[in-house]
Chain A
């Protein structure tokens, strides 16, 4: 700043003679530096007034006590996480830092967090959270879970020391020896209490044998109970899979936890009363039901025994042979019908058999032969008859003529007549003989014709049958044989074994 020289020594007085002249900005800057360094973090308590929220969502207000006031600003970012919305007149505890707003040369507090202070403000925070959660539906009946009627293990979230846990254990033991208790020890007031309670609810839900949760603490001031008014606890209770009984403070104390819980107990002891069913009731229920069931079963057996007895009293059980009477009668009748049926069946069958035998006899070769013989006999008979009648007729005629002859000329014509008679007689004999011969020939001819139908008879006439040795069939055309083949020629009497010399084709093709 100054040229350094051995003869110039600046003195104190000289410096004060030349005072530092700041610009407004410079001094503001210095003040800002000093203030901000000195009041980097401050806790500040006071009453809010002139609260104003700008369009930018930053909040501006004055914090005051009986004598003084200080300007405060809370920016949008830190307002977002606020658990309550302050209003003029609220007593609050601020956390923030001091800064200088150069444009107006004013110092102010930049607020980071704000907590309600005093009964009024806490009450307000309570109302606001309650309204918010209510709007979200967290208190709605449809979220209320039923308590299991027979719990075996109850989770208790409270302080490990103090009367509450002992009350709950005591009541539980008094009521039932079947219910176990698992304590999850937590801080129930002060810094971090709400977080611990919420975490304990989450942890208990990770266990799978807890039937009911009791969350609570003993009585105290609204500040003491405050953890149970925190949103984080409300949300944890709401999210719990296990039904939750809230048991905070005394009967008159209502907390947000009470509204979210599935059941609100006025006190921790009452919570245990609600949760734990009387062991004696359980025993009673089991033994009652068992006894009733046995009674019921006995009654069923009695009923059936009675029914059975009724049946056994029926007549056919007393006189069982009676049952058989009707069937026996029927059986008899059936037997008779069977015999009748059998007899008529036999008759029919016999008749059928007889017919068959008759048919068979009719068709037998002996019968056929007999029939032919009969036919032949009747033929002979007819023939003889006809011959006799012819002879008789002729003889009658002869007698007639002879008579005529004797009447006409018995004397002179006698030799002539005698001759004529001999002639006629001879003629007659000839005629008769011829007739007989003719008839005989025709009969023999008939016989021959009959004979001609017999294949063997044909052979009699000089025909023969040529059979192939190979196939055993009769040959009907030459091409069925080959030269060298052996053939058998069947004659009327005996046969010849021959060999084909040559095959000649048929000349007239048919």
Chain B
């Protein structure tokens, strides 16, 4: 299954809300899109849970390919303070 983008999932979810709130669909269709909506909601939550902030620095590897490595910053240890 191809990965669904957060924004795509979000758009679908919002569209489903709209459809359900219009209340014009029959019960089967409503249930169907509701299930889809729950799926999209999970996708969104999962994406948010998965996306963990990383700070990396791009360097050139031995063969000239691009390599990202973690980039230590002073702010790592003192997230909540503005050090400058």
User: Interface residues, chain A, CB within 8 Å of chain B?
Assistant: 148-150, 152, 155, 160, 163, 165-167, 169-170, 172-173, 176-185, 200, 203-204, 206-207, 279, 282-283, 285-286, 289-290, 292-293, 296-297, 299-301, 303-304
Sample of 6 more A-B contacts, CB < 8 Å, known A184-B58, A282-B6: A166-B75, A166-B83, A180-B56, A286-B45, A290-B13, A290-B37
- What are the residues of chain B within 8 A of A169 when measuring CB–CB? 55, 73, 75
Q: Write the nearest CB–CB distance from B42 to chain A, whole angstroms.
A: 9
Contact for A185 among B14, B17, B57, B73, CB less than 8 A = B57
Q: Which residue of B lies closest to A182 (CB)?
A: B56
Q: Is the CB of A296 within 8 A of B21?
A: yes
Interface residues of B (CB under 8 A from A): 6-7, 10, 13-14, 16-17, 19-21, 23, 25, 27, 30-31, 34, 37-38, 41, 44-45, 48, 51-58, 66, 68, 71, 73-75, 79, 82-84
Main secondary structure of the interface of A (DSSP, over half): helix
Contact B84 A180 (CB under 8 A): no
In whole angstroms, how far apart are the Cα atoms of A193 and B83 in the complex? 28
Q: How many A-B residue pairs have CB under 8 A?
A: 123
A386 to B14, CA, bound (A): 123
User: Given A286-B45, A293-B34, A297-B34, A148–B51 Cβ distance below 8 Å?
Assistant: no
Contact B58 A286 (CB under 8 A): no
A148, B7: Cα distance in complex, Å: 9
Query: Do the beta carbons of B27 and A163 come within 8 Å of each other?
Result: no
What are 24 of the A-B contact pairs (CB < 8 Å)? A150-B10, A155-B58, A172-B53, A176-B53, A180-B53, A180-B54, A180-B55, A180-B56, A181-B55, A181-B71, A182-B68, A183-B55, A200-B58, A203-B66, A207-B66, A282-B44, A289-B17, A290-B41, A292-B21, A293-B16, A293-B41, A296-B21, A299-B20, A304-B27
**Min CB distance, A50 to chain B, in Å?**
49
Contacts of B68 in A (CB 8 A): 182
A148: B residues at CB distance < 8 A? 7
In the complex, A173→B80 CA distance in Å? 9
Note all chain B residues with C-beta closer than 8 A to A176: 53
Decide if B73 touches A289 in the complex (CB within 8 Å).
no
Q: Across the interface, do B20 and A183 meet the contact criterion of CB distance under 8 Å? A: no
- Asked if residues B48 and A282 are in contact (CB atoms below 8 Å), the reply is yes
Q: How far is the CA of A148 from the CA of B10 in the complex (A)?
A: 13
B27–A301 CB distance below 8 A: yes
A204 contacts across to B, CB distance below 8 A: 58
